């Protein structure tokens, strides 16, 4: 809601659900951010767009669903590791 109120993204209601899209103002906002996280996010976007940029929503959904078991396990393990790390500190 904050980004939307600042004109950085738009909300679209579609037959498949709620979708968000960056506006032209979002690029300028991201350009002023200089954290390592933003730099890494840009690198991932440069890698990701050529791979999936022309992929339809339904095909992306199929890809995600086919990988959700594997990815879900990775995310679950990552959260376990974070909890374990927090307990040691």
Domain that holds residue 18: 1-54
End-to-end Cα separation, the chain, in angstroms: 34
Residue 79 has pLDDT above 60, yes or no: no
* Residue 72: predicted pLDDT: 61
Residue 43 has pLDDT above 50, yes or no: yes
Q: Give yes or no: residues 32 and 2 share one domain.
A: yes
* Residue 70: predicted pLDDT: 64
pTM comes to 0.43
Q: Give yes or no: residues 7 and 46 share one domain.
A: yes
The residues facing 21 across adjacent strands are 10
More confident residue, 35 or 7: 7
Q: Give yes or no: residues 1 and 38 share one domain.
A: yes
Q: Give yes or no: residues 49 and 20 share one domain.
A: yes
- Residue 16 phi, psi dihedral angles, 5° rounding: -95, -5
Q: Give yes or no: residues 1 and 39 share one domain.
A: yes
Residue 86 has pLDDT above 50, yes or no: no
CA distances from 14 to 1, 8, 18, 22, 54 (A): 18, 19, 6, 16, 19
Q: Give yes or no: residues 24 and 34 share one domain.
A: yes
Q: Cα–Cα distance between 44 and 40 in angstroms, integer?
A: 6
Contact present, 20 and 9 (Cβ < 8 Å): yes
Q: Give how many domains the chain has, as a whole number.
A: 2
């Amino acid at each position: 809601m904050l980004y939307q109120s600042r004109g950085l993204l738009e909300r679209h209601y579609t037959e498949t659900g709620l979708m968000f899209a960056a506006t032209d103002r979002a690029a300028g906002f991201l350009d002023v951010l200089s954290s390592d996280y933003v730099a890494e996010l840009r690198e991932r976007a440069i890698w990701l767009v050529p791979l999936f940029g022309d992929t339809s929503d339904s095909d992306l959904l199929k890809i995600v669903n086919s990988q959700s078991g594997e990815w879900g396990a990775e995310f679950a393990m990552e959260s376990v590791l974070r909890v374990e790390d927090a307990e040691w500190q």
